Chains A and B, each alone.
Chain A
Amino acid sequence: MNAVAQTNNIQLDENGRLRHFLSIEGLSRELLTEILDQAESFAGVAERTVKKVPLLRGKIITNLFFETSTRTRTTFELAAKRLSADVLSLNISASSTSKGETLLDTLRNLEAMHCDMFVVRHADSGAAHFIAQHAAPHISIINAGDGRHAHPTQAMLDMFTIRRHKGDFSQLKVAIVGDIQHSRVARSQIQALNTLGTAEVRLISPRTLLPAHAESLGVQVYHDLQEGIRDVDVVIMLRLQRERMRGALLPSEHEYYQLYGLTEERLQAAKPDAIVMHPGPINRGVEMDSQVADGPRSVILQQVSHGIAVRMAVMSMAMRIQERG
């Protein structure tokens, strides 16, 4: 698979170290583990009185969000600030593109302002790859979500959370529930879980919310929630967008909740120590019951704080290359 190697080589320098972070695909287990280990060392920073390390002092990191986001953008900002970088956050959907400026023009302008790293979110799959291919060589690109393709920092913070609770991946059964088809989070999670050697990755979803040939992603497919979460160690719930009802993918939120909503009762089928995750924001009463979201097995808020440590890890690793380069 020459082509696959080619796509992902762009993420690595000639020594196989992280240069951009665009997708999980093509990254080795060693590299993912290094990110998790690095994140572990940053996790303590938040507990200090001075919540900063001087690793990226003097660097400029630009958040380029072509799609609106509060949570992801905020955690990237915090991560950059804790690394002592200067941070610029641009909400492009509202400014340049509406004036007809092309993506490349926007990029060139920001390059001229001597930015060192772009954190990019865009509605098109492949946007982060495109920017990495066209940006000046000294700029690192971090993908903060591109279309339905990838959201690798979200996947890594989920892996970080799983590892903290469960340790070894090789014994784990993980179920991902909901709208896989439209989810960049799910695609990155599946790749990360498989790369880290997870025993079994299951997708639980109605046919309309599954991608074509879903099994080819390296998963087991279930349509029944009860059956799918039996004996799993981790349940990952995905957000359901309202527009799925309009696109005739689902009849109603009511039926979805009846079939795929996670309740305490249904969760009994999972292992007694199973954890419940969600990338947020949660639709209470659609994807899961509040009792579960706020219950003892929910690690949803931990995911959010882990997000900062993982993003610090990825940013510092990608910038370390620059220092040498």
Chain B
Amino acid sequence: MNQPRTLSILNGRLIDPANKVDASLDLHILDGKIHALGDAPADFKAEATIDASGQIVCPGLIDLSARLREPGEEHKATIASESMAAARGGITTLCCPPDTSPAIDTPAVVELIRRRAETSGRARILPIGALTKALGGEQLSEMAALQKAGCVALSNGLLPFGSTLIERRAMEYATTFGITTFLHPEEPHLRNQGCAHEGAIASRLGLPGIPEAAETVAVARDLALAEQTSCKIHFRGISAGSAARMIRRAQYDKLPVSADVAAHQLHLTDADIVGFDSNCHVSPPLRTKEDRETLRSAIADGTIGAICSDHQPHEADAKEAPFPSTAPGISALETLLPLTLRLVEEKVLSLPDAIARLTSGPAQILGLPLGRLDIGRSADVCIIDPKRQWQLKAEEMLSCGHNTPFLGWEFSSQVTHTLLEGRLVYQETN
């Protein structure tokens, strides 16, 4: 398909939270870059146009955590398949955690991912490197080399450090290069064998519980280490309301700390596991309604700067077992935007704020000039029809993983076009 050099998106409602723009403006693209907003320059001739009347035009979404399963778990998904699902979800930038097989702990693995992403060409993939070799929690990874190879942050995935001393050193060494560390706030001993929020529902179902303290103890420890080391830390996937409150306090004290939450945590609670539905088996676990309300207010006031998919596609077998024996996680790229916009319908967020949590918010956490419609920047654009009823159906999902508790949910907005660097990478067909 020949890409036009020039493209105009006309008559849309342009929402660009980073530039505080919410207005009816045309958007003009030249050679993959944003060329002009509003009236086209006199010398500009659009080879192609998209009529976005009644639609929302916003920056392409940035997802801070999406497991693409490649390399190592191609039976679950591939970079090619998941990039298509991302494009359908309006996501143009995906950050992939280091817990691939092998882990992203050498420039070679970064290079492999980069090439696969290039071949697929439907999403920008930003690898998150490993903080320790093979995520073993003992020996530091070659952080400078990983940064040079293109890792935008470093993390130990879902695995713990061998000791608090090693965590401290990893954070300190990362600070040398100004790298942000993504931390999974979970104290493994307190988690124990748990698979559900420790509360009335897990007690009734006899499911081993994960106490809130498994998260808050880790958050407290990591905040203390951030203060000690001045390392920029980002809490990946908050589930407990009390953890959100601790982060709010730390931000007030000017600690360099940010946080995100998975979209499902803003909609589901532990009441949803009552039928032992393994699609509701997630880590961290779904917590109480009170936690959900606190997370929603932390998203509204910006304590939690980003909503992410925490996409974890699985093959059917991984979820076909009794609840505790199933793999946790949701295939979530295609519901990130609809679930976030549902928060607008439920009066949790304004529309510009909702879009900010998916664009400028995550960009700010990464410290990258993405998620904004500046003149001269890469034209990553998402066009949304805000009045399109649809239902999530497994057979219509583009992700290889169909593991989602949202099957059958009705949504009222739909991505119609996704552009990556000015190229159309998704267009709704019906």
Contact = CB atoms under 8 A, between A and B. Distances in A.
A213 B317 CA distance: 33
Contacts of A126: 205, 207, 276, 322-324
B3 interface: no
Interface string A1-27: 001101100000000000000000100
A216 B198 CA distance: 13
B203 A122 contact: no
Interface in B294-321: 317, 320-321
Contacts of A134: 320
Given A103-B321, A124-B324, A125-B322, A212 B209 contact: yes
Nearest to B203: A211
24 contacts: A7-B275, A102-B317, A102-B320, A103-B321, A125-B207, A125-B208, A125-B323, A125-B324, A126-B207, A129-B275, A130-B321, A130-B322, A146-B206, A147-B322, A148-B206, A148-B208, A187-B206, A211-B203, A212-B200, A212-B202, A213-B203, A214-B203, A216-B204, A217-B203
Given A126-B324, A134-B320, A148-B208, 5 more contacts: A3-B272, A124-B324, A147-B324, A149-B207, A212-B198
Interface string A283-298: 0000000000000000
B63 to A, nearest CB: 29
A4 B276 CA distance: 11
Interface string B146-174: 00000000000000000000000000000
Given A7-B274, A7-B276, A25 B204 contact: yes
Nearest to A218: B204
A202 B271 CA distance: 25
A150 interface: yes
B199 interface: yes
B325 interface: yes
A149 B324 CA distance: 12
B206 A212 contact: no
Contacts of B276: 7, 125-126, 129-130
Which range holds the interface residue count of chain A?
20 to 34
A147 B206 contact: yes
B205 A212 contact: no
A257 B324 CA distance: 32
Contacts of A146: 206, 322
A127 interface: yes
Contacts of A278: none
B118 to A, nearest CB: 37
A2 B87 CA distance: 35
A187 B206 CA distance: 8
B321 A102 contact: yes
Contact of B206 (A6, A130, A150): A150
Contact of A124 (B274, B275, B320, B323): B323
A53 interface: no
B209 to A, nearest CB: 6
B203 A216 contact: yes
A148 B275 contact: no
Contact of A149 (B199, B205, B275): B205
Quick one: which of B202, B206, B317 has the most chain A CB within 10 A? B206
A102 B274 CA distance: 24
A154 B202 CA distance: 21
A104 interface: yes
A217 B206 contact: no
A1 to B, nearest CB: 8
A187 to B, nearest CB: 6
Contacts of B203: 211-214, 216-217
Contacts of A4: 274
A104 B323 contact: no
A184 interface: yes
Interface string A141-167: 000001111100000000000000000
Contacts of A127: 322
B327 to A, nearest CB: 13
Interface string B189-222: 0000000001110111111110100000000000
B275 A187 contact: no
A213 B200 contact: yes
| A124, A184, A187, A213: residue with the most chain B Cβ atoms closer than 10 Å | A124
A306 B211 CA distance: 39
A122 B276 CA distance: 15
B405 to A, nearest CB: 12
A132 to B, nearest CB: 10
Contacts of A102: 317, 320-321
A239 B58 CA distance: 61
Contacts of A3: 271-272, 274-275
B199 A213 contact: yes
A149 B206 CA distance: 4
A103 B202 CA distance: 23
Contacts of A150: 206
Contacts of B317: 102
Q: Which 10 A-B pairs have the closest CB atoms?
A: A149-B206, A148-B206, A211-B203, A126-B276, A124-B322, A216-B200, A127-B322, A213-B200, A125-B206, A126-B323
B203 to A, nearest CB: 4
A79 to B, nearest CB: 24
Contacts of A211: 202-203, 209
Interface string B318-359: 001111110000000000000000000000000000000000
Contacts of A148: 206-208
B202 to A, nearest CB: 7
Nearest to A247: B192
Contacts of B324: 124-126, 147
B208 to A, nearest CB: 7
Contacts of A184: 206
A126 B273 CA distance: 11
A163 to B, nearest CB: 24
Contacts of A25: 204
Interface in B265-299: 271-272, 274-276
